[in-house]
Structures are given as C-alpha cells and as structure tokens.
Amino acid sequence: MKERPILFSAPMVRAILDGRKTMTRRIVHKDLVRDVIGDGENILHRCHHGKPGDRLWVRETFSIDALGGVMQNGTGEWEYEIKYRAGGSKKIKYTGPSLDDPYIKYYDNQRGDWRPSIFMPRWASRILLEVTAVRVERVQDISDTDAEREGCDGGDMKPGYSRNQFRDLWDSINAKRGAGWGANPWVWVIEFKRIAPTGPA
C-alpha cells in the first residue's frame, strides 16, 4: 500500500465530506495514451494515482494560525489551528525543541493567509481516501450516474443534467490546458471511499 497526495477544489472537498463524491477523473499523460489504446486493462498498473488498496491524502486550500504557546530552555508547547477554505478546521499541538517544530516553521513562512492546495503538507491534511477501483476511458464516456458520483448533483432537473454539469466543471479545470471536453481525452477513472486518517495528522 502506498500513500499519495491528490488535489481537490473547495467545492469538491465539500462533496467528499458530504459523501456525494466517490470518484474522480484525471487526465492520462500523453506519453501513456498509445499504451492505453494498445493494451487496454494492462495499462492500469501505470496509474500514478495508485491502484486499489492505495491511499490518497487530500490537498486543499488552507491557512494556519498560531493560537499561542510557551517556550523554556529551548523547549516549547504551541497550539495551531488549521482552517480549510471548504469549511471547518482542526487544532494541532506541538511539544518539543523549538527548532524542530514543523508547524512554527511553516507558520513563519505562511502567516495565516490562504495557501493554494498544492502547498499543503501531509500533516495539515484532514481527508484520507482509499482507492477502490481504477479504469481508463474517454472523458465523454461518463454516465449520468458517474457524474453524480463525481459530485455533480442534477437534482430534479431532466436526465443528463448531472453529465452537463460535469462537462462544465471539467472544462473550467482542463480547457485551458487543451484537454477540454471537446478534445475528449483519455482519463483515469479513480473510485474511492473515505477512511479515518492514519499516520501523520
């Protein structure tokens, strides 16, 4: 089992926390497309997001604030609050040599401002996912049911609305990179379930 980071926007984080998002699609790197076409299922072991049983820790937009602390003879005790753009927060305590405190080092560089998800360290993550299935398909092959599992809720709208909502979401993220809906790129379809965090907080 391996652990890897994965980025999600605030709306998608909320969908995961609400239990509405249990699937994500990520672009297959262009160097692997020929293998996808030629080998089909045999390409799955090359998915850099993992295989079933592997874990993904979520990176999201966040900030960190120092709540206070004391230091004596080079050893201290501090408390920090990590806030998440998607809502919610968690507190972390550190006791030990001040020079070894990873949180205060990070706080000194960050100063409580919102930080992009790409910069989130492992200890700040609050969501851990387990990969349950991986497959490869074209992005336009997504069904209405899968669009809902992607966090796109069509509600009481006519059939196909969830899929259209996903198309718009996909383009907002990938069109600028030349991998929009119209290009119909090959994608990894990664199914997951949320599990209780283990290891570093």
Show me where the domains of the chain are located.
3-59+133-195, 62-124
CATH of 3-59+133-195, one of 3.40.50.720, 2.30.130.30, 3.30.430.20, 1.20.20.10: 2.30.130.30
When comparing pLDDT for 104 and 180, which is higher? 180
Q: Of 14-18, 45-49, 160-164, where does the model show the most confidence?
A: 14-18
Mapping DSSP onto H, E and C, the string for 144-174 reads HHHHHHECCCCCCCCCCHHHHHHHHHHHHHH
Q: Which residue type does 137 have? A: E
Q: Are strands 89-97 and 128-138 parallel, antiparallel or unpaired?
A: unpaired
Spatial contact of 56 and 128, defined as CB atoms under 8 Å apart: yes
Q: Which residue type does 55 have? A: R
Q: Give the pLDDT confidence of 152-165 residue by residue, as tens digits.
A: 986 666 667 899 99
**Helices (runs of H) and strands (runs of E) counted in the chain:** 5, 8
Kindly report the backbone phi and psi dihedral angles of residue 26, in degrees, each rounded to the nearest multiple of 5, phi listed first.
-130, 145
Question: What is the DSSP secondary structure assignment for residue 199, as one 8-state letter?
Answer: S
> Can you say how many angstroms the Cα of residue 41 is from the centroid of all Cα atoms in its chain?
24
Q: pTM for the whole thing? A: 0.84
pLDDT tops 80 at residue 47? yes
Q: What percent of the chain has pLDDT over 90?
A: 57
Mean of the per-residue pLDDT values of the chain? 85
The structure tokens listed for 143 are 């069904």
pLDDT value of position 174? 95
Q: Give the pLDDT confidence of 108-130 residue by residue, as tens digits.
A: 555 668 889 998 989 889 999 99
Say how far apart CA 141 and CA 38 lie, in whole Å.
18
